[in-house]
Structure 1
Amino acid sequence: MAVVKKVNAENGWHYISCTDCHKKAKTIGSTFWCEGCKKGFSSPTISYRLELHVKDESGSTIFVVFDKEAEKIVRIPATQVYTT
């Protein structure tokens, strides 16, 4: 059995992502750009990115949990957690 010892919030809990592929989007002025889709858009999605420090009897490691799986842990949609 493993235990989550810490949620690292230093790198944030969320990121601005593409509405289609959910990869990280770049902000360009008042619009956004997705390198994965090679297109711009005006309304991004807010997605979770949690860094969990996990430990068991054999050692410890860091797991990065994204989007829907992170939402199961937090139990709140990322769009409700995000504040500008």
Structure 2
Amino acid sequence: MCYLANGWHYLACHRCSKKVMGDDGDLWCTKCEAKVELPIARFMVRFEVEDHTGTTVFVALDSEVQKLVRATAAELTGASEDNAKSAVISGFSQILQRAVDFQITIHSFNMKQKTPTSFTVTRINFTNQPGQGFYATVKVEGDSNTVDGPHTKKPRLDETTGMEDNKDEAAE
């Protein structure tokens, strides 16, 4: 499910794209440590994703959302609020009609909590899978293997036998 309850965009620093903070009417970038005179609107849309293991949130940011809605957040913030929200929802309606693969990367900061609650989407692809729904391709930071979920490992195949290589499990 895609929800816009927490909004669909944020104001960002034009130099580094980090969210700007308000301080007595002034906007400030903590990364650049500078006042921001002209912030730019950037997308941030949250997808609630559920499977048999539980529920989590995938957060899609500016470039991936732009591909879906075919507009920038800055363009839509210039439109009326109803038109902007309608354009965002319209862009996501195609997700509800086709199978979508969300690619995410799990970073060390995702694992600081015992149960990670959200992950940043690195790419959104429409798949050739039949029907509708979400698929997730997960890459663990520092690991070249792609896994099928945040708490599972993709089996490694022994190149000589073609069988699953379980030596990592024995070491754990």
TM-score (normalised: structure 2)? 0.40
For 1:75 and 1:55, locate their aligned partners in 2 and report how far apart those are by CA, in whole Å.
27
Deviations 1:4-60 (A, max 9, x none): xx211111000000111111101332x421001100121001000000123467665
| 1:34 corresponds to 2:29 | yes
Aligned to 1:73: 68
How much identity, in percent, do the aligned residues show? 33
Counterpart for residue 115 of structure 2? none
The equivalent position to 2:59 in structure 1, one of 56, 64, 84, is: 64
Contact 2:20/2:36 (<8 A) preserved: no
Q: Which residue of 2 aligns with 1:21?
A: 16
> 2:46 matched to 1:51?
yes
Higher relative contact order at CA 8 Å, sep ≥6: structure 1 or structure 2?
1
How far did residue 62 of structure 1 move?
A: 1.8
Q: Which has the higher strand share?
A: 1
The equivalent residue for 2:5 is 10
Aligned counterparts of 1:76 and 1:55: Cα–Cα separation in 2: 28
Distance 2:14 2:44 in 1: 16
Can you give the 5+ residue segments of structure 2 that lack an aligned partner in the other structure? 82-172
More helix by share: 2
Q: Indicate the SS of the match to 1:36.
A: coil
- 8 Å Cα contact 2:47/2:57 also seen in 1: yes
Relative distance call for 1:56 and 1:75 in structure 2 (3 A) is farther
Question: CA–CA distance in 2 between the matches of 1:55 and 1:41?
Answer: 38
TM-score normalized by structure 1?
0.77
| Rounded Cα–Cα distance in structure 1 between residues aligned with 2:68 and 2:50 | 17
For the residue of structure 2 that corresponds to 1:69, the secondary structure is: helix
